[in-house]
């Protein structure tokens, strides 16, 4: 009889364990290059980690075995090299009952729109993409960033540190989104120094016109090496995984570089591979694009509102801590002579005293407005 009672108790425990479903299931499909790009995708992944920690969740099938509890189930998927399976992956998560699904990157715009229409009860977050005519009741939320504001700050840093020597901009795909980085960078340099209002003082080149430009470190290296040969003291990239080519070129030229999206100086300094770690000392700072914050804050709203996220548009700039410049234990001394100036520029942008050019700005005309 006692044995029977024990078996019943064990059976009940097993049933309860099986039925203890997570409160929410949140999914994500990465952009090209996937996790491990040390940039855009890794920032999005960090948002998932922060989410798991904040809400006692775990990331399913994660090599890093992120696990803070069983209340929130999180899963990410990575597209094939060409990204042709974006829609398939989004659809797979929706069919598997994930209630909030992120597409990381503007290239998800079309696919996410299609899947969202087929799953009206599922919420979708589109990072860096734009779908017109969304409202609060839409099941799509577009999460964008004022990359020009953060790029303005690192452009100012580059100009102040280069002290009259030329600087460069390495772009990934030649599209308006990346033009926003470039114009912000150029504007920051022009604002703090008349030297950079002269032709040829800021070099710029894009890797290509298709998405592979964000995962092409070889061409990133070739373009960057050429910038340094032409006399560039510092080069800033907005090229995703291709930025590794910039850091390699900077190391060989023994000149400085500026990373993007994540704090790439810390990431490279923490790398296990000796060759990668050696490049860290040539990364002056990074333009931080807080994709992690956009994921964490939007998912927090979704969870706190019982599984509902307001549709429409959310933008993250300096004021919202959506962009900025990286300060860490490795670059603190290097930035000490310009830090006060950069923080004042940041305050002036937030207050509206400085209006930063965007991708639609005529930069030559803008430069003429400067004193």
Distance of CA 205 to the CA centre of its chain: 21
Q: What is the CATH number of domain 23-146+292-316?
A: 3.40.50.2300
| H or E element, residue 317 | none
Give the residue extent of every domain in the chain: 23-146+292-316, 147-289+321-368
User: DSSP strand E in 78-233: where?
Assistant: 100-104, 123-127, 140-145, 167-173, 202-208
CATH class of 147-289+321-368: alpha beta
pLDDT in tens, 141-178: 999 999 999 999 999 999 999 999 999 999 999 999 99
pLDDT in tens, 175-200: 999 999 999 999 999 999 999 999 99
pLDDT band at 204 (very low <50, low <70, confident <90, very high): very high
- Average pLDDT score over residue span 76-96: 93
Q: What is the pLDDT of residue 18?
A: 42
Determine contact, residues 80/4, Cβ cutoff 8 Å.
no
Determine contact, residues 90/115, Cβ cutoff 8 Å.
yes
Q: Is 259 exposed, middle or buried, given 0-12, 13-18 or 19+ CB atoms closer than 10 A?
A: buried
| H or E element, residue 314 | strand 312-316
User: What's this model's pTM, rounded to 2 decimal places?
Assistant: 0.84
- Average pLDDT score over residue span 95-122: 97
Determine contact, residues 312/175, Cβ cutoff 8 Å.
no
Q: Do 23-146+292-316 and 147-289+321-368 fold alike per CATH? A: yes
């Amino acid at each position: 009889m006692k044995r029977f009672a024990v078996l019943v108790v064990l059976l009940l425990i097993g049933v309860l364990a099986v039925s203890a479903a997570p409160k929410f299931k949140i999914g994500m499909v990465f952009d090209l290059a996937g996790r491990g790009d040390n940039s855009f995708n890794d920032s999005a992944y960090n948002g998932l980690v922060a989410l798991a920690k904040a809400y006692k969740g775990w990331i399913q099938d994660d090599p890093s075995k992120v696990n803070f509890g069983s209340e929130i189930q999180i899963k990410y998927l990575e597209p094939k090299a060409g990204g042709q399976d974006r829609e398939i992956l989004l659809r797979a998560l929706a069919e598997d009952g994930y209630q909030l699904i992120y597409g990381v990157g503007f290239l998800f715009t079309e696919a996410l729109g299609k899947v969202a229409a087929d799953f009206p009860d599922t919420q979708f977050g589109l990072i860096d993409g734009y779908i017109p005519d969304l409202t609060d009741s839409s099941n799509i939320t577009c999460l964008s960033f004022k990359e020009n504001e953060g790029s303005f700050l690192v452009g100012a840093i580059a100009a102040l540190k280069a002290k009259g020597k030329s600087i460069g901009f390495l772009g990934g795909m030649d599209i308006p989104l990346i033009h926003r980085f470039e114009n912000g960078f150029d504007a920051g340099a022009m604002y703090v120094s008349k030297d950079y209002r002269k032709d040829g003082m800021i070099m710029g080149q894009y890797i290509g016109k298709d998405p592979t430009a964000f995962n092409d470190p070889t061409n990133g290296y070739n373009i960057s090496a050429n910038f340094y040969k032409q006399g560039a003291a510092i080069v800033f990239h907005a090229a995703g995984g291709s930025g590794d080519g910039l850091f390699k070129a900077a190391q060989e030229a023994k000149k400085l570089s500026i990373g993007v999206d994540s704090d790439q100086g810390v990431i490279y300094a923490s790398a296990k591979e000796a060759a990668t770690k050696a490049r860290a000392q040539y990364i002056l700072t990074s333009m931080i694009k807080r994709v992690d914050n956009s994921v964490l804050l939007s998912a927090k709203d979704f969870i706190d509102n019982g599984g509902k996220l307001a549709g429409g548009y959310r933008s993250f700039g300096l004021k919202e801590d959506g962009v900025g410049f990286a300060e860490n234990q490795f670059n603190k001394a290097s930035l000490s002579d310009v830090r006060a100036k950069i923080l004042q520029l940041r305050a002036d942008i937030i207050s509206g005293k400085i209006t930063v050019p965007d991708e639609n700005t005529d930069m030559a005309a803008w430069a003429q407005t400067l004193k």
